[in-house]
């Protein structure tokens, strides 16, 4: 049994609308903005990071019974800037705070491959925070962006349909 490799096998796409969070269509996803080559690996976060704890023992309980509560999600990325407007896709797509849409994550297949029916994807409904230019560090120019996950539009085990 082979383990999934991560090198070149992550596809991250932004789409403004979806008809079904649990079953996005091939056409909707392939029409989106691919981000994986615009995002730095450093400080990348997209997905569940934990959950709240519910402490609710019965009066007769001798222990502090706990249960998992609401899931906490995080989405934050650092995007590269480009010297040509037509290549500076992330900067022009995420020009301000309050932009709504969906971040789609697919792992395990070459990022250059289009989405096809049957692909397993994670879907996160998001609203953008304020784009923040990063201080120069002698490397590439970048900006940081936090996304606010919207709970009603999230499915980490979605399936792409035709």
Domain ranges of the chain: 13-48+69-159
Q: What percent of the chain has pLDDT over 90?
A: 75
For the entire predicted model, the pTM comes to 0.90
Taking 90 as the threshold, does the pLDDT of residue 111 lie above it? yes
**How high is the pLDDT of residue 41?**
92
Asked if 126 and 75 count as a contact pair (C-beta separation under 8 A), the reply is yes
Per-residue pLDDT band for 93 (boundaries 50, 70, 90) equals very high
Average pLDDT score over residue span 30-44: 95
| pLDDT tens readout for residues 11-34 | 999 999 999 999 999 999 999 999
């Amino acid at each position: 049994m082979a383990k999934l490799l991560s090198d070149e096998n992550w596809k991250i796409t932004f789409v403004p609308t979806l008809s079904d969070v649990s079953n996005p269509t091939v056409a909707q996803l392939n029409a989106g903005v691919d981000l994986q080559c615009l995002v730095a690996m450093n400080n990348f976060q997209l997905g569940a990071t934990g959950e709240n704890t519910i402490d609710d023992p019965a009066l007769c309980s001798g222990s502090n019974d706990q249960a998992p509560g609401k899931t906490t999600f995080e989405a934050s990325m650092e995007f590269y800037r480009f010297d040509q407007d037509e290549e500076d896709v992330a900067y022009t797509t995420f020009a301000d705070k309050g932009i709504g849409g969906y971040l789609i994550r697919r792992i395990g297949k070459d990022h250059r491959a289009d989405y096809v029916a049957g692909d397993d994807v994670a879907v996160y409904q998001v609203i953008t925070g304020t784009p923040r230019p990063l201080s120069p560090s002698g490397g590439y120019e970048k900006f940081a962006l936090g996304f606010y996950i919207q709970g009603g539009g999230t499915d980490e085990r979605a399936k792409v349909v035709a």
